[in-house]
């Protein structure tokens, strides 16, 4: 089935289809990657194998969004994971032993340098994430799981419109020859021999083939003292206890801090307590979700860091107090007294009912615009989440993980059965978008196509980036998609919000995907048409 939203003048309709997958289903930002995942399912792999295969393919086809030089987080539920709760993996990298905040401050930096500086690139955790997931839960040999990605890299693949549009941003970046010199237009074939070689090394030698091989040695050279051998020897993927909130008759799970997923849970808890209704066309729906997200986000600047107590941030008394601040007729954050991004999300399920919610990221487009020489791998810039304020709990320093916007989400029923896998890209807007997806799924009761294709809002600040939205709460403007209900803009403005109707923007409102597990039917999913080439592919 398909969902088509109402279209206003100049608006773009994101036509989204619900796909059923009784024998397995993969939703991702790229059809080629989704097909890589389902090929592994057909070969006898499980949902974890499919998720890794899809993720690996995306490192080849979408280097503007993710890569082996980035980070990964995931939740897994279903057969083989235990009955009590999902398994949760944090494979976000740590700053190298050479991390020196005083040196950056002495150079005049007040925030982490986002581009052209390797110091904003913690040791990437993506590959450790694959290996840890596969080692515990994978079914097929790793070489078979990575084979579709290797084939795409070696034989070539059609360049997506978004990749072709963004490739000129790499002009002048050393080590990007295979991307820059290709000079490809949308639809033209692009080969990536460097990543193919890295993937083959991982398939043959595992961790030693990547962190202890060509990539690791070249990373040490590129780091010029930022990293030491022991930084690469240290495993970067940890099984952690999931963070959960009971809301709207379900249990919603995410990765605990340093993940920002806690803000999505807090937003949902505030919205439920504030009386969020089931009609998204009502401007009160938009207002209450905006207010819930903003009030949850107040904890972001100083409350999100590695080791933060996520349970404290979603404690009932805390959420009650925040919900009590909500005025249904007026925005509360009128002053400061209350003081695309480069990410992919994918979800996969198999015929046995296992589900994987996985997110992988460069942070900002091509990351920090530093390539590991000779490998074709660009480094992420997740280090921009660090603070340079002396004594800040998230201060840049050796061995530390930065605060992450990554917010993969998994939903279970009270009896423990799997209800949904969902998530999105979008920097600081991820938790805002996850809140809206949860509300449409669990309160309104929309099917996957309607949830994913529905109009969205995101918060922005004047002259800001999508990674500093929470620095000035009073400066927020609400950007709404042009196909939003006609009532949204006047209804929000009447309540004191600054509102902007966005021009067609395929990257500014997330690329979300969803697999729903109905109690009385097969799994069904939808991929986001905003990604232009995304697809939900069934076995």
- Predicted pLDDT of residue 428: 87
- Predicted pLDDT of residue 466: 61
**Mean pLDDT of all residues in 72-94:** 91
Q: Is the pLDDT of residue 502 over 50?
A: yes
Instruction: Break the chain into its structural domains and give their ranges.
Output: 43-239+356-385
For 197-249, how does the pLDDT look when each residue is reduced to its tens digit (9 = 90+)? 999 999 999 999 999 999 999 999 999 999 999 999 999 999 999 999 999 99
Helix, strand, coil percentages for the chain (3-state, nearest 5): 35, 20, 45
Give the pLDDT band of residue 354 (cuts 50, 70, 90). very high
Query: Quick one: angle between helices 193-205 and 142-155, nearest 10?
Result: 170
Q: Is the pLDDT of residue 2 over 60?
A: no
For 253-283, how does the pLDDT look when each residue is reduced to its tens digit (9 = 90+)? 999 999 999 999 999 999 999 999 999 999 9
Residue of 405, 86, 408, 404 lying closest to 251 (CA atoms): 86
DSSP state of 429: G
158 burial level (CB within 10 Å; 0-12, 13-18, 19+)? middle
For 26-44, how does the pLDDT look when each residue is reduced to its tens digit (9 = 90+)? 999 999 999 999 999 999 9
**Mean pLDDT of all residues in 510-523:** 96
DSSP state of 443: I
Global confidence as pTM = 0.94
The answer to whether 461 and 429 have CB atoms below 8 angstroms apart is no
The answer to whether 20 and 37 have CB atoms below 8 angstroms apart is no
Q: What percent of the chain has pLDDT over 70?
A: 94
- Predicted pLDDT of residue 333: 63
Q: Is the pLDDT of residue 10 over 60?
A: no
**Mean pLDDT of all residues in 400-408:** 93
């Amino acid at each position: 089935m398909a969902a088509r939203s109402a279209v206003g003048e100049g608006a773009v309709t994101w036509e989204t289809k619900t796909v059923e997958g009784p024998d397995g289903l993969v939703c991702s930002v790229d059809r080629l990657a989704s097909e890589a995942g389902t090929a592994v399912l057909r070969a006898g792999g499980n949902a974890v194998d499919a998720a890794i295969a899809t993720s690996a393919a995306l490192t080849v086809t979408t280097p503007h969004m993710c890569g082996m030089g980035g980070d990964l987080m995931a939740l897994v539920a279903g057969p083989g994971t235990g009955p009590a709760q999902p398994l949760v993996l944090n494979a976000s990298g740590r700053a190298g032993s050479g991390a020196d905040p005083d040196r950056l401050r002495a150079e005049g930096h007040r925030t982490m340098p986002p581009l052209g500086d390797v110091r904003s690139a913690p040791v990437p955790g993506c590959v450790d994430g694959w290996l840890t997931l596969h080692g515990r839960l994978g079914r097929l040999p790793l070489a078979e799981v990575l084979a579709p990605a290797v084939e795409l890299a070696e034989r070539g693949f059609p360049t997506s419109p978004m990749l072709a549009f963004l490739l000129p941003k790499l002009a002048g970046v050393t080590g990007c020859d295979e991307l820059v010199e290709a000079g490809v237009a949308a639809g033209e074939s692009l080969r990536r021999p460097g990543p193919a070689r890295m993937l083959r090394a991982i398939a043959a030698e595992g961790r030693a083939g990547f962190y202890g091989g060509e990539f690791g040695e070249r990373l040490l050279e590129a780091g010029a003292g930022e990293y030491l051998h022991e930084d690469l020897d240290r495993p970067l993927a940890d099984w952690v206890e999931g963070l959960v909130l009971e809301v709207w008759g379900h249990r919603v799970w995410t990765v605990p801090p340093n993940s920002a997923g806690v803000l999505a849970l807090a937003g949902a808890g505030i919205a439920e307590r504030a009386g969020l209704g089931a009609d998204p066309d009502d401007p009160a729906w938009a207002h209450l979700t905006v207010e819930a997200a903003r009030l949850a986000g107040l904890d972001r600047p100083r409350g999100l860091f590695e080791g933060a107590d996520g349970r404290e941030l979603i404690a009932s008394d805390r959420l009650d107090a925040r919900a009590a601040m909500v005025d249904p007729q007026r925005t509360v954050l009128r002053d400061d007294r209350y003081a695309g991004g480069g990410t992919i999300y994918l979800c996969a399920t198999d015929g046995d009912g296992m589900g994987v919610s996985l997110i992988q990221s460069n942070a900002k487009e091509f990351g920090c615009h530093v390539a590991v020489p000779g490998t074709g791998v660009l480094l992420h810039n997740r280090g921009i989440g660090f603070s340079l304020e002396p004594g800040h709990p998230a201060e840049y320093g050796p061995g530390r993980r930065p605060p992450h916007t990554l917010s993969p989400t998994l939903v279970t029923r009270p009896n423990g059965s799997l209800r949904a896998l969902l998530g999105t890209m979008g920097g600081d807007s991820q938790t805002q978008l996850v809140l809206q997806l949860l509300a449409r799924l669990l309160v309104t009761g929309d099917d996957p196509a309607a949830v994913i294709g529905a109009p969205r809002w995101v918060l922005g600040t004047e002259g800001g980036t999508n990674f500093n939205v929470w620095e000035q709460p009073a400066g927020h403007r609400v950007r709404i998609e042009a196909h939003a209900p006609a009532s949204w803009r006047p209804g929000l403005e009447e309540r004191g919000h600054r509102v902007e109707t966005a021009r067609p923007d395929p990257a500014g409102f997330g690329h979300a995907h969803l697999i729903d597990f109905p109690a009385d039917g097969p799994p069904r999913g939808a991929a986001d048409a905003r990604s232009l080439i995304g697809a939900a592919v069934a076995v």
